[in-house]
Amino acid sequence: MEIKEIPEKGVQLEGAKKKQRSQAKVKTGCRTCKARRVKCDEGRPVCQRCIKWGGPSSCDGYNDIPTKAPATTPRMLLPNPRPLCRTPTVRRFGNDEEYRFFRRFCTDTSAQLTGARGSELWNRVVLQASEMEPCVRHAVMAIGALDFNRLSHGGTDLESIHREFTFLEYGALTAVGLINASSWSRKLNFKERRGREFAYKEYGKAISSLKKAVMEKRSHITTRLLACILFVCFESYHGNNESAAAQTYAGIEMMERYSRQRSEWTPSLKTLRPPPIDPEIVEAFAMLEIQAISWTNESRPDRKLERRYASGEVIEEIPKEFKSLKHAGFMLSMLVLRANHLRYKGSVAPYVSPGMNDPGHTEYLPVYHVSPEHSELCNILNRIQQWNLAFAPLLRKSGIQEGRNYRREALLLKMHCLSTYVWTASAAPLAEMWFRRCTSELTEIVSLARVLINETKIRNECSPLDLRILLPLMIVGWYYRHRASRKEVISMFDVLPKREGTWDAGMIARIMEWMVEIEEGGLTDEEYVPEDAISNVTILKIDVPSRTVYVELIQGVRGQGEKTAMKSKTMNW
């Protein structure tokens, strides 16, 4: 009996026929390889196997395999028990007058406050908050009752206000019925007087509502900040610049405290990190602080230093090319704000001498260091030039295919860039560093202003919060003594909006005319006012109701070295 060897599992006997494992047919090969029943290498656009077999023309290409639609599970649609629209739990408006002035703010006032910057603060952030927050809604109705068109065209709004209290006290008193507002508006007709009385009462209600919410600890940071912005708008409209500046700094303090809370937050299951402040609110306060710095003198220099560092962090991120006017405008606002912090900090010394305790000090070879302020000044000027290069493509684009509003905003930003540069340069410690060295920038600012006045409707706009054309022209005529440019600037003030931000065009024009009178007397063909004849304003007291301003300045005595003389004058505008 023959004994056969039993093969182990997985071992093939010699001579046995090897079976091929069946594989799934590939459906992605080319048509030629499928017909020949050979494996296709699936090369695209023709497979390499066909090329080797019969040339490139032998491959007939591929069939597109239709993709299967994902399986869907039928879902039953059940009726929604909730109503399609939400029924208000409370009535938003007490009467038709409240609704009318609220609609007026939505349709007219918000567009005037927005201007050409494209900010969503007034038509989105404020209106959303007014839906749920009574203090915001009352402030919106108060501003909606004010006539911004009349103020823009030089009406008698400010002349008709005769008061013994600040408007903050006035609004609060009228809200509780302690005084009669009609006696304060005798120069207005019935319709205007009615709107003014309504505005003051709603302003008082807004203040009372905000105080109540703060005391009950149920006010959100966004609500408080928006209320500050609206209060600033109301105060600025009436010329209460000091009160508007106080409201601005109150809002800035709130933002800084909130930002510190966010930075100090630690991850926890019990609390969520507070959300960031809306960028529209941040940019609005940057614009307000630029104006407020000139009306108040903060006693906390460390605050200015902290804000300067905060704005500096943003400026470091200037791109090589801006993609939108909105981004360019925000970055320029941070530059202007940083320059303000430097200008109002104090004198900028070019060099710092080492002290006697300095290890690097020697008796024979003193070492001088560039001061931090002067280094900061040079850094800001370099950043402005960097911004100008990044903005150039958008400026060229504005003159080719975009609309009038786009071109107007682009020209305004260019104008603000130039004025910020020359204004920052004037902070240099030595006159020879900046005086008589910015003639081309000054003439370009004046030319841009002329284009904006002639080609756009900027002369018909009122901007109680925004900075547009007045401040750049003020820098040219006030800080620089280029005689031709200053003369042309003064001639433009008659066609400019009467108020822009916290500044009145008529008042600035009267002050400049007086400066021309005392500085240019006896001059012939000099391009600039001589350095020893320059005057500097030391005291500025403004009485808005009577439209008068008291100015004191100090002026050098021409030809007598460092001798100076004090001069003063009260002017009407």
Does 36 share its domain with 153? no
Which residue among 49, 64, 79 closes a domain?
64
Which residue among 235, 263, 291 closes a domain?
263
Q: What value does the mean pLDDT take over residues 437-456?
A: 89
Q: What percent of the chain has pLDDT over 70?
A: 71
Q: What is the DSSP string of 470-520?
A: HHHHHHHHHH--BHHHHHHHHHHGGGS-SEETTEEHHHHHHHHHHHHHHHS
Does 106 share its domain with 222? yes
Q: What is the CATH number for 33? A: 4.10.240.10
* 197 in a structural domain: yes
Q: What is the pTM of this model?
A: 0.71
The mean predicted confidence, pLDDT, of the chain is 76
* Selected residue with higher pLDDT from 149 and 204: 204
Instruction: Note the pLDDT of residue 517.
Output: 92
pLDDT at position 311 over 80:
no
Q: What percent of the chain has pLDDT over 90?
A: 22
Domain assignment of residue 215, given as a range: 96-263
Instruction: Note the pLDDT of residue 154.
Output: 45
Which residue among 228, 263, 298 closes a domain?
263
Find, among 49, 123, 148, 60, the residue nearest to 464 by Cα.
148
Confidence of residue 196 (pLDDT cuts 50, 70, 90): confident
Collapsing DSSP to helix, strand or coil, 572 comes out as strand
* 316 in a structural domain: no
- Rounded Cα distance between 128 and 132, Å, is 8
486 contacts: CB under 8 Å, gap ≥ 6: 476, 477, 480, 512, 516
Does 254 share its domain with 126? yes
Does 179 share its domain with 46? no
List, for residues 102-153, the tens digit of each pLDDT value: 999 998 888 888 765 667 888 889 999 998 899 999 999 999 998 776 654 4
* 29 in a structural domain: yes
- Rounded Cα distance between 232 and 283, Å, is 15
Among 48-57, 83-92, 485-494, 519-528, the minimum mean pLDDT is found in 83-92
List, for residues 395-420, the tens digit of each pLDDT value: 988 877 666 778 888 999 999 999 99
List, for residues 342-365, the tens digit of each pLDDT value: 877 654 544 443 433 344 444 444
Question: Exposed/middle/buried for 41, CB within 10 Å: 0-12, 13-18, 19+?
Answer: middle
Does 109 share its domain with 40? no
Collapsing DSSP to helix, strand or coil, 564 comes out as strand
Instruction: Note the pLDDT of residue 476.
Output: 93
* 249 in a structural domain: yes
* 523 in a structural domain: no
Does 39 share its domain with 140? no
pLDDT at position 238 over 50:
yes
Specify which residues 569 forms β-bridges with.
551
* 433 in a structural domain: no
- Rounded Cα distance between 127 and 143, Å, is 13
Instruction: Note the pLDDT of residue 182.
Output: 37
What phi, psi does 549 have (nearest 5°)? -140, 135
Q: What is the DSSP string of 60-102?
A: --BPPPPPPPPP------PPPSS-SSPPPSS-S-SSHHHHHHH
Does 137 share its domain with 47? no
Does 36 share its domain with 139? no
Does 36 share its domain with 154? no
What's the number of domains the chain is made of? 2
Does 100 share its domain with 238? yes
Q: What value does the mean pLDDT take over residues 291-310?
A: 58
List, for residues 49-94, the tens digit of each pLDDT value: 887 777 767 787 777 655 555 666 666 666 655 544 454 445 678 8
Does 100 share its domain with 204? yes
Hey, how many other C-beta atoms are within 10 angstroms of the C-beta on 64?
Answer: 6
* 77 in a structural domain: no
Does 154 share its domain with 34? no
* 127 in a structural domain: yes
